[in-house]
Amino acid sequence: MKTETEIVSELKSRYNDLSNFQALHIACEIRRNNILEAALIVKSEEGKKAILEAIAAALGYDQNK
């Protein structure tokens, strides 16, 4: 996952008219969306449990019941 600084640099290189504030605002929104997406997926791509799945397992939820 890219950092806000990397996203800002990429945005500034693509869109020269963006102010630093606009680029940082967009970068924060992108990161927030990435975090929410990672939290809400059922299975992660790396084979690790997603956040909500890990919480459910910790609470004792068994999908086979």
Per domain, the residue ranges of the chain are: 4-58
Q: Band the pLDDT of 34: cuts 50, 70, 90.
A: confident
pLDDT score at 10: 94
How far apart are alpha carbons 31 and 60 in whole angstroms? Answer: 30
- pLDDT(1) > 70: yes
The reported pTM is 0.61
How far CA 52 is from CA of 6, 20, 49, 58, 63, in Å, comes to 27, 34, 8, 10, 13
pLDDT score at 42: 55
More confident: 43 or 46: 46
